[in-house]
């Protein structure tokens, strides 16, 4: 056990009130000193008749399927101390399955596993205060391990103390992980020439994110910033503005299609400003020619090249890369003089509580406003609305628009109540023209999506199209079995339509029309509100390992409901964030 707070959070599973009281508490567990009168045994029960010296009454200890060692504890005339549930039975006062204890006079904690003496020795009010906890929280936690009064886990004070201590300790660990490393270069840059050259205006949020990155580039220490924005908020323009300011940069994205898309956009917006190279598995780029380019845009193929030392690295859809891949890109572009500034971009908005927590590891910029108003209507439908759906699809195709239909599975499955992609495609081929099909296992998926973009009417797919693909004529998306997907994924799919600001439609097709999650999602287009909804439906993952997905990370703190406690803990961290108390932690920001 490394610290007093962590030890204090290993709370007992129960407490035994071994204080002797003058009268029994009925239907509660209590202790009594008693003398054995006689024992009586039947096939199912072992009953010990006793006289309570504490209460001055006769009482029976009842054991079901008693073990041999239990029976040997009781001999006529022996005096002992029993603790157990006491109730009124047919024959008088009964104690059910009581245990024999060695001493009385105190409240005794019972732990799930034997609590090491070393861990218990760490816990004291002074030690908890020294590690940063407020005195009232420290006293409440100590009373769980060394109780003077019977603890009540459901009480507000105990609940608050456990939540506060857990998130406070977690933030301390995150702070200890953050290190200020020297940057390869301090870059004093003005993005104005790039911004003036754009054929469109940037939103205030985009300008704010660019200014955040500008300030980061000028620092002597490595910047680590996450730029989070909703679908279609214009993160690519921010990315290219950062590349312009850095003069030498690398952008890594998860797919060849995205890399080509950003490369094409960069060619337009950075024309005559930077030289650009595309690095993908099929691009034919060679390591020896990469150092001449000002901006390298590529997939994970970048990780297999000899990369030049650059002062700035950007990772788009950062959650699509493993921790080791992101780390390797930073190492490949580092030099003896320091590390590149790292900017990560994500189109998956994160809830306020997660943003507050992650800010202990890296700085965060948010882009909430889109360059144009999204005109997407969302509707939850079932098979009763299928005729209406087909009519809507025909209308969109007649207007030279495109339709995306997303299926939950590629192949048929007995456990799936919806048609698979393979089962359904016959209907669409029979009734419509220019139908394309692809999925995540399809090696030709990127070529097919490009061909669909130029020539198709309907694309049948799985969630392979979830992130980042620009299909400007796509105005309708249908998600089959929508309740099977997370809200964030559904919102991402919805974000594929209406990318040019045109009227668009999203249909969540389900056999469970009253699904509350889907109905709530249909009522909002705000990705940050969606993130809050999603958080209430699933627990968080392990932040410290860098895999913040699903699965519980906290025993007491609730990400969805405890934002105020988190804010108080962060404030406390900043107040006691000193070398003595937070050894190894970075300067707070």
Rounded mean pLDDT of 81-96?
Answer: 94
Rounded mean pLDDT of 388-406?
Answer: 96
Q: Which pLDDT value is given to residue 582? A: 37
Q: Give, in degrees to the nearest 5, the angle at Cα 511 between 508 and 516.
A: 65
Q: Which pLDDT value is given to residue 536? A: 77
Rounded mean pLDDT of 476-491?
Answer: 92
- For residue 217, is pLDDT > 80? yes
Parallel, antiparallel, or unpaired: how do β-strands 92-101 and 57-64 relate? parallel
Q: Which pLDDT value is given to residue 580? A: 37
Taking the C-alpha atoms of residue 66 and residue 61, their distance in angstroms, rounded to an integer, is 11
Instruction: State the CB neighbour count (10 A cutoff) for residue 423.
Output: 16
Taking the C-alpha atoms of residue 167 and residue 159, their distance in angstroms, rounded to an integer, is 12
Taking the C-alpha atoms of residue 264 and residue 299, their distance in angstroms, rounded to an integer, is 15
Q: How do residues 252-267 score in pLDDT, each as one tens digit? A: 998 888 898 899 999 9
- 422 CB burial (10 A radius; 0-12, 13-18, 19+): middle
The whole-chain average pLDDT of the chain stands at 87
Question: Is residue 468 very low, low, confident or very high in pLDDT (cuts 50, 70, 90)?
Answer: low
Taking the C-alpha atoms of residue 142 and residue 128, their distance in angstroms, rounded to an integer, is 9
Contact criterion met (CB below 8 Å) for 150 and 107 = yes
Rounded mean pLDDT of 189-211?
Answer: 95
Q: Which pLDDT value is given to residue 575? A: 80
Q: Which pLDDT value is given to residue 2? A: 60
Contact criterion met (CB below 8 Å) for 535 and 557 = no
**Residue from 79, 95, 20 nearest 55 by CA:** 20
Parallel, antiparallel, or unpaired: how do β-strands 45-52 and 28-41 relate? antiparallel
- For residue 544, is pLDDT > 80? no
Length of the chain: 589
Q: Which helix (H) or strand (E) holds 469?
A: none
Looking at residue 266, the DSSP 8-state letter turns out to be: H
Which residue(s) pair with 29 in the sheet?
A: 85
Among 42-56, 216-230, 544-558, the minimum mean pLDDT is found in 544-558
Tracing tokens 């039975």 back to the chain, one arrives at 89
Question: Is residue 500 very low, low, confident or very high in pLDDT (cuts 50, 70, 90)?
Answer: confident
Alpha helices (H) along 150-190:
156-177
Looking at residue 361, the DSSP 8-state letter turns out to be: T
Contact criterion met (CB below 8 Å) for 456 and 196 = no
- For residue 286, is pLDDT > 60? no
* Cα–Cα separations (whole angstroms), residue 154 to 10, 160, 326: 17, 10, 43
Q: Which pLDDT value is given to residue 186? A: 92
Q: Which domains does the chain have, with CATH numbers?
A: 19-101 (2.40.50.140), 192-367 (3.40.50.300), 376-524 (3.40.50.300)
- For residue 349, is pLDDT > 90? no
* Cα–Cα separations (whole angstroms), residue 296 to 242, 300, 311, 562: 13, 12, 12, 42
- 173 CB burial (10 A radius; 0-12, 13-18, 19+): middle
- For residue 455, is pLDDT > 90? yes
Q: How do residues 127-168 score in pLDDT, each as one tens digit? A: 999 999 999 999 999 999 999 999 999 899 999 999 999 999
Question: Is residue 581 very low, low, confident or very high in pLDDT (cuts 50, 70, 90)?
Answer: very low
Q: Which pLDDT value is given to residue 578? A: 45
First to last CA, the chain: 29
* Cα–Cα separations (whole angstroms), residue 171 to 168, 542, 570: 5, 13, 7
Q: Which pLDDT value is given to residue 442? A: 83
Backbone angles phi, psi at 479, to 5 degrees: -110, 115
Q: DSSP 3-state assignment of 79? A: strand
- For residue 101, is pLDDT > 90? yes
* % of the chain exceeding 90 in pLDDT: 60
Q: Which pLDDT value is given to residue 469? A: 66
Contact criterion met (CB below 8 Å) for 562 and 167 = yes
- 520 CB burial (10 A radius; 0-12, 13-18, 19+): middle
Residue-wise over 485-498: b if at least 16 C-beta within 10 A, else e? bebbbbbbbbbbbb
Taking the C-alpha atoms of residue 166 and residue 156, their distance in angstroms, rounded to an integer, is 15
Q: What is the DSSP string of 444-457?
A: THHHHHHHHHHH-S
- 466 versus 245: the higher-pLDDT residue is 245
Rounded mean pLDDT of 241-256?
Answer: 94
Backbone angles phi, psi at 88, to 5 degrees: -90, 120
Taking the C-alpha atoms of residue 263 and residue 110, their distance in angstroms, rounded to an integer, is 62
Contact criterion met (CB below 8 Å) for 350 and 531 = yes
Q: Which pLDDT value is given to residue 551? A: 39
- For residue 401, is pLDDT > 80? yes
- Contacts with 249 (C-beta within 8 Å, 6 or more apart), sequence order: 242, 243, 294, 295, 296, 310, 311, 312, 313, 314
Taking the C-alpha atoms of residue 47 and residue 70, their distance in angstroms, rounded to an integer, is 11
Which residue(s) pair with 314 in the sheet?
A: 251, 343
Q: How do residues 225-235 score in pLDDT, each as one tens digit? A: 999 988 788 89
Rounded mean pLDDT of 68-97?
Answer: 94
Contact criterion met (CB below 8 Å) for 216 and 341 = yes
Question: Is residue 187 very low, low, confident or very high in pLDDT (cuts 50, 70, 90)?
Answer: very high
Q: How do residues 332-346 score in pLDDT, each as one tens digit? A: 888 777 899 999 998
Q: Which pLDDT value is given to residue 498? A: 85
- For residue 584, is pLDDT > 60? no
Which residue(s) pair with 50 in the sheet?
A: 36, 59
Q: Taking the CA of residue 29 as centre, how many other CA atoms within 13 Å lie in the half-sphere pointing to its CB?
A: 14
Q: What is the 3-state secondary structure (H, E, C) of 515-543?
A: CHHHHHHHCCCCHHHHHHHHHHHCCCCEH
Handedness of CA 427, 432, 434, 440 (dihedral sign): negative
Taking the C-alpha atoms of residue 553 and residue 540, their distance in angstroms, rounded to an integer, is 6
- For residue 180, is pLDDT > 80? yes
Q: Is 468 left (phi over 0), alpha (psi -120 to 50) or beta?
A: left
Question: Is residue 552 very low, low, confident or very high in pLDDT (cuts 50, 70, 90)?
Answer: very low
- For residue 542, is pLDDT > 60? no
């Amino acid at each position: 056990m490394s610290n007093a707070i962590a030890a204090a959070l290993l709370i007992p599973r129960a407490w035994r009130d071994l204080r002797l009281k003058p009268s029994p508490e009925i239907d509660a567990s209590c202790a009594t000193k008693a003398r054995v009168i006689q024992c009586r045994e039947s096939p199912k029960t072992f009953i010990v008749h006793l006289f309570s010296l504490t209460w001055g009454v006769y009482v029976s200890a009842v054991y079901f399927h008693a073990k041999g060692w239990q029976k040997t504890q009781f001999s006529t005339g022996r005096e002992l101390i029993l603790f157990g549930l006491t109730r009124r039975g047919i024959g008088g006062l009964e104690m059910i399955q009581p245990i024999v204890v060695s001493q009385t006079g105190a409240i005794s904690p019972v732990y799930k596993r034997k609590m090491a003496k070393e861990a218990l020795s760490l816990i004291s009010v002074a030690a908890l205060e020294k590690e940063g906890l407020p005195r009232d929280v420290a006293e409440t936690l100590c009373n769980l391990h060394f109780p003077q009064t019977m603890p009540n886990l459901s009480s507000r004070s105990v609940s608050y103390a456990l939540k506060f201590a857990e998130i406070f300790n977690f933030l301390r660990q995150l702070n200890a992980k953050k290190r200020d490393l020297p940057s390869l270069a301090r870059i004093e840059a003005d993005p104005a020439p790039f911004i003036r050259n754009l054929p469109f205006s940037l939103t205030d949020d985009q300008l704010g994110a660019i200014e955040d990155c500008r300030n980061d580039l000028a620092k002597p220490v490595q910047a680590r910033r996450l730029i989070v924005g909703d679908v279609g908020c214009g993160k690519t323009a921010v990315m290219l503005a950062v590349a312009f300011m850095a003069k030498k940069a690398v952008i890594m994205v998860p797919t060849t299609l995205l890399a080509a898309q950003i490369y094409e956009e960069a060619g337009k917006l950075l024309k005559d400003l930077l030289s650009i190279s595309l690095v993908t598995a099929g691009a034919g780029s060679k390591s020896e020619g990469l150092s001449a380019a000002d901006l390298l845009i590529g997939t994970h193929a970048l990780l297999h090249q000899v990369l030049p030392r650059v002062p700035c690295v950007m990772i788009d859809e950062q959650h699509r890369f493993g921790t080791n891949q992101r780390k390797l890109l930073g190492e490949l572009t580092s030099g003896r003089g320091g590390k590149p500034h790292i900017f990560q971009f994500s189109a998956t908005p994160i809830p306020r509580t997660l943003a507050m927590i992650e800010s202990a590891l890296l700085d965060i910029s948010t882009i909430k406003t889109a360059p144009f108003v999204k005109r997407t209507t969302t509707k939850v439908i079932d098979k009763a609305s299928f005729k209406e759906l087909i009519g809507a699809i025909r209308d969109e195709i007649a207007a030279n628009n495109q339709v995306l239909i997303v299926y939950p599975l590629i192949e048929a499955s007995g456990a799936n109540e919806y048609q698979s992609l393979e089962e359904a495609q016959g209907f669409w081929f029979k009734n419509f023209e220019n139908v394309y099909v692809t999925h995540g296992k399809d090696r030709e998926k990127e070529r097919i999506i490009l061909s669909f973009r130029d020539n198709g009417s309907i694309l049948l797919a799985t969630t392979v199209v979830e992130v980042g693909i620009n299909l400007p004529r796509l105005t309708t998306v249908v998600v089959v079995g929508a309740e099977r997907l997370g809200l964030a994924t559904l919102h991402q799919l919805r974000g594929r339509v209406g990318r040019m600001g045109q009227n668009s439609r999203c249909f969540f097709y389900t056999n469970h029309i009253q699904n509350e999650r889907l109905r709530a999602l249909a009522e909002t287009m705000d990705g940050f509100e969606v993130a809050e909804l999603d958080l209430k439906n699933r627990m968080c993952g392990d932040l410290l390992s860098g895999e913040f997905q699903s699965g519980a990370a906290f025993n007491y703190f609730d990400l969805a409901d405890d934002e105020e406690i988190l804010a108080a803990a962060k404030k406390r961290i900043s107040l006691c964030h000193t070398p003595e108390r937070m050894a190894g932690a970075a300067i707070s920001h």
